[in-house]
Structure 1
Amino acid sequence: MNENLRCADEARTASVVELAQELIRRPSRGGIDPYGPVLGVLEEWLDARELPHRRLRDAAGAPVGLLVEVPGGRPGPWWTLDACLDTAPYGDETAWTFPPACGDVADGRLRGRGAADSKLAAAMFCHIAADLAPRAHELAGGLAVLLDVDEHTGGFGGARAYLADPHAARPAGVMIGYPGIDEVVVGGRGLWRATITVHAPSGHSGSRSTTVGAVTRGAHLVRLLDAADLPGGDDGSGFPLPPKLTVTAFHGGQGFSATPDRVDIHVDIRTTPGFDAHAAETLVREAVTALDTALPAPLPTAVTPVAAWPPFRLAEDAQPAAALLGAAAKAGLTVRAKTAGPSNIGNLLAGEGIPATAGFGVPYEGLHGIDERAHLAELPQVYAVYQRAVLELLGR
């Protein structure tokens, strides 16, 4: 019996890897490649196993994801496994030691863009759905698998379309399959982002005018933002990370002989419960007021907010974190709960009142960089943890 189980586990692991390889071999860089080919691989695989699925589309009708649904036979909440099928760009392809879309296995590692983030997880979650489907009548609620192809763009179109779909059951919680064997991410800082437009009169760089140009005014604003006083350490909310402000872009001017009349600055502020989006916007607008007072210009400096997500932190004894951490412990893994500095799709879900975990998977290298690889030795354990967690959540 044990030999039969071992052979079944090996066959399933091989099948997960084979499907992930096919996904990696269909380039799906966010905002660059068409998503039809990578979605088609999974649609063919799901059709062969008679698993219910459908494409999710945005308001313009473009595909933004794939949704797999396995309804249980008894009433209960639905839970969702989520993994992205789009990827980061390749970057400098000449720096890779293997083709970014090779999808091969070497030295126990699955290689290629998306191996770690997150095509291996997508293949694993589809297999879990296929494993559960024959006994779905025993389960309470249901399992959805969300496969987003608008994640690396920052749009999260697949998740947005899923939550807006009137035919989809709203999930009680989501487990996102980002990689990393040592941690379950249960929280993340939020964000507030804005474009700041700094104005000034244009002119010739060689003129006698002493007018302060937009580049100089913009540089002064950057200094004000860099010197801004943000709270540090514990803000009284129990959140383990402080807020952070970063100027991420500065655009303006061309050539040498003209002083530009406009500079656009991008500001990214990572927020916490004690320093939220309102506090972030207030800080930026106070810096802008200080700029316009110290260095007046014909037009006031404009602040255009472009995105805001709340911070989130899920208690370790709340679902689905408790199920995932408990399943990891039963598998003999030492896994800690982590609040991440970067934001993730869990922030979007938190804004909708949906609890989420955002990371537990195989060890990896080169995520978003060169030579992306996912370790395969731990895949059976990771698979078993997610399957055990799902079964617990579905009342088994």
Structure 2
Amino acid sequence: MASLSEDAVEIAQGLIRCKSVTPDEGGALDYLQTKLQAAGFTCHRLPFEAAGTPTVDNLYARIGTGRPNLCFAGHTDVVPPGDDDAWTHAPFAGDIDQGLLYGRGASDMKGGVAAFVAAALDYLTFARGEPAGSISLLITGDEEGPAVNGTDKVLKWMAAHDEVLDHAIVGEPTNATQLGETIKIGRRGSLNGKVTVKGVQGHVAYPALANNPIRGLIAVLSSLYEEPLDHGNAHFAPSNLEVTTIDVRNPATNVIPAKAEALFNIRFNDDHTPESLQSWAREKAFMALEGSGLEAIFDYEPANPVFVTEPGTLSTLLSEAISDVTGLTPELSTAGGTSDARFIKDYCPVVEFGLTTESMHQVDERVSVADLEKLAVIYRRFLDLYFNGGTAS
């Protein structure tokens, strides 16, 4: 495996040692900006705020002025480490032990950021100047938080300043067991809802004078689970609904409650829209409660949209780079949860590819040093394919 002029492991250690727990920047963006400016990148620090949310700092860096503009995107904020004493190695030490790099964010996703920074700097070293186009980096500090003052607002700032992206790679961890097995080309949508069934409160000994909403809630939930939403399609697994909590908040054993409620989440593919799912749930509830005298009321949070980047130039070149370095042919997948790719997809084709997922957010989060170095080489190979048609720069 080819080595790079920039050490991705060293950069990852530097980032891990910055305590950038959401929403704190923790010095991580300062660390990156210093490296990028020294290599000729123009850097913009972009703090944003909104009522009810913490102020978040972000970084957009670009070298080159031409098209295409290839963007590597990611985040340096991390989730809290939990109990420091539960870690084998201190969560912000960046220790290496038996070929593994330990630390909060090693997998999700300071390792990925370090790999694409190392790849970009190495490419510029051997290109002896600016690329035949532009390389940009969009680094947020708000991916693990509310995601209000991060990537979404950076992209809007970019659009207002004529910063156009042509393609983007998000360096989130994507591989379940082995580096190179999976590229994410989209994500299912996510819809959080609450259903409240209203009845008539009364004494349990006189049920004819009451109307128990729990019976109705059970009927509604059974109807929602009754049949599959769909059977999947070419790019997506079947949609699924999961009830996440059921609450009555009734402390008395001799009182029929006035209402019962449940929270649920629907992960949906592009056979559906949030609006069509809401109509479906409402119709199922109406039929389940017909003639009961009970009423079901639904409330929803704003949905995370479903999206897919159809296989094309981006996924083809990235697949070739992965195969060249690992010998594997990656699966094009839409599995998993949400990421900031959901914002980027409105501006350009975007895919996700990064390290393995097995230890992210866990105590003793860690990545293989060999995998981290290999990921940087994959990104570096992709840059050659993207800008130079595969000819090494």
Tell whether the structures are fold-level matches, with TM greater than 0.5.
Answer: yes
1:379 partner SS? helix
Number of residues paired by the alignment?
A: 377
Which string of whole-angstrom CA distances, capped at 9 and with x for unpartnered residues, describes residues 16-63 of structure 1?
Answer: 323322322333344xx5234333333344455553222233353822
Partners of 1:111 and 1:373 within 8 A in 2:
yes
The whole-number CA distance in structure 2 between the counterparts of 1:105 and 1:63 is 30
Partner of 1:79: 70
Which of 160, 179, 203 aligns to 2:152? It is 160
Asked if structure 2 preserves the Cα contact closer than 8 Å seen for 1:192 and 1:281, the reply is: no
- Report the Cα distance in structure 1 between the residues aligned to 2:105 and 2:148, rounded to whole angstroms: 17
Could you tell me which residue of structure 1 aligns to residue 282 of structure 2? Answer: 285
> What's the % identity of the aligned pairs?
21
Residue 289 of structure 1 aligns to a residue in which SS?
helix
Alignment of structure 1 residues 322-337 onto 2, 5 Å: 322-337=316-331
Deviations 1:202-255 (CA, angstroms, capped at 9, x unpaired) = 757767455345555434332222224322254xxx235222212233344153
CA distance change for structure 1 residues 27 and 279 in 2, over 3 Å: closer, same or farther? same
- Please tell me whether residue 175 in structure 1 is matched to residue 174 in structure 2: no
What does residue 99 of structure 2 align with? 108
C-alpha distance in structure 2 between counterparts of 1:214 and 1:170, whole Å: 53
Q: What is the rounded CA distance, in whole Å, between the counterparts of 1:248 and 1:217 in structure 2?
A: 18
In 2 relative to 1, CA 333–360 (structure 1 residues): closer, same or farther, beyond 3 Å? farther
Q: Secondary structure at the match of 1:162?
A: helix
Equivalent-residue separation in structure 1 for 2:184 and 2:357 (angstroms)? 20
Give the Cα–Cα distance (whole angstroms) in 1 for the partners of residues 249 and 60 of structure 2: 46
Whole-Å separation in 1 of the counterparts to 2:203 and 2:168: 56
Is residue 98–residue 371 contact of structure 1 (8 Å, CA) maintained in 2?
yes
1:255 aligns with 2:254: no
**Aligned residues of 1:55 and 1:63 also touching (Cα < 8 A):** no
Aligned partners of 2:276 and 2:308: how far apart in 1?
17
The one of 15, 27, 34 equivalent to 2:24 is: 34
Give the letter for the 1:163 counterpart.
L
Greater Cα shift, 103-112 or 261-270: 261-270
Which among 362, 369, 374 is matched to residue 369 of structure 1? 362
Residue type of the alignment partner of 2:180 = D
In structure 2, the residue matched to 1:387 is: 380
Residue from 237, 243, 251 that aligns with 2:239:
243
Alpha-carbon shift at residue 342 of structure 1 (Å) = 1.8
Alpha-carbon offset, residue 184 of structure 1: 3.6
Amino acid paired to 2:185: G
Secondary structure of the corresponding residue to residue 151 of structure 1: coil
2:131 to 121, 139, 152: 139
Partners in 2 of 1:209 and 1:193 — Cα distance?
36
Conserved in 1, the CA contact under 8 Å of 2:124 and 2:131? Answer: no
Q: Distance in 1 between matches of 2:229 and 2:207?
A: 38
- On the 8 A contact 2:321/2:381 being kept in 1, the answer is yes
The question of whether the paired residues in 2 share the 8 Å contact of 1:312 and 1:346 is answered with no
Distance in 2 between residues matched to 1:214 and 1:70, nearest whole Å:
61
Equivalent position of 2:265 in the other structure? 268
**Structure 1 position 321, deviation (Å):** 1.2
Q: Does 1:12 align with 2:11?
A: no
State how far apart, in whole Å, the 2-side matches of 1:232 and 1:147 are. 37
Q: Which runs of 5 or more structure 1 residues have no equivalent in the other structure?
A: none
Q: Are the structure 2 counterparts of residues 12 and 375 from structure 1 closer, same or farther at C-alpha, using a change threshold of 3 Å?
A: same
Equivalence for 1:304: 300
Pair 1:63 & 2:56 matched: yes
Which digits, 9 at most, give the CA deviation of each residue in 1:291-331, with x for residues without a partner?
A: 4435434x65133242141231431xx12212211122222
Separation in structure 2 between the aligned mates of residue 350 and residue 40 of structure 1, nearest angstrom: 24
Deviation at 1:394, TM superposition (A): 3.0
Mapped partners of 1:65, 1:261: distance in 2: 48
Q: Go from structure 1 to structure 2 and tell me whether the alpha carbon gap of 1:254 and 1:347 turns closer, same or farther (over 3 Å shift).
A: farther
Any unmatched runs of 5+ in structure 2? Answer: none
> Is the Cα–Cα contact under 8 Å of residues 23 and 119 in structure 1 kept in the other structure?
yes
CA gap of 1:337–1:346, structure 2 versus 1, over 3 A, is farther
Check conservation: 1:244, 1:271, Cα contact below 8 A.
yes
Give the Cα–Cα distance (whole angstroms) in 2 for the partners of residues 183 and 294 of structure 1. Answer: 53
Counterpart in the other structure of 2:223: 224
Distance 2:91 2:213 in 1: 41
8 Å Cα contact 2:72/2:170 also seen in 1: yes
**Deviation (angstroms), 1:119:** 0.3
Shift of 1:94: 5.8
Corresponding residue for 1:150? 142
Q: Which structure has the higher relative contact order (CA within 8 Å, separation 6+)?
A: 2
